[in-house]
Amino acid sequence: MITEQYVWTTKNGAEIPLSKMEDSHLKNSYNMMLRTNVPFPPVFLGEDAEMCADADFEQACADREEWLLAFKDEAEKRGINLND
């Protein structure tokens, strides 16, 4: 996985490539993602609306898993443990 393509946006809007994050920021961001659950999909009336909501939810879950893998890959490159 190429972690240079991942750019983390901080709460104040700064954009930091994952590969440029400090070790502590990498760990804290990873652990924040673990604590932050993907919300349950909203319930809509109508088959088309429900299909769109399901697709959005599935994409959000996939994006989260991809980010978690990117964090793990970057930590492995640096030889750090994200769970310290």
Per the structure, the complete domain to which residue 33 belongs is given by 3-78
Is residue 84 assigned to a domain?
no
Is residue 24 assigned to a domain?
yes
Q: Which residue has the higher pLDDT, 31 or 55?
A: 31
Q: How far is residue 55 from each of residues 15, 46, 49, 51, 63, measured CA to CA in Å?
A: 27, 14, 10, 6, 12
Is residue 55 assigned to a domain?
yes
Is residue 83 assigned to a domain?
no
Looking at the structure of the chain, the number of domains it has is 1
Q: Tens digit of pLDDT for each residue in 32-59?
A: 888 876 655 555 556 666 566 666 767 7
Q: Which residue has the higher pLDDT, 7 or 44?
A: 7
DSSP string, 16-83: EEGGGS-HHHHHHHHHHHHHSPPPPPPP-SSHHHHHHHHHHHHHHHHHHHHHHHHHHHHHHHHT--TT
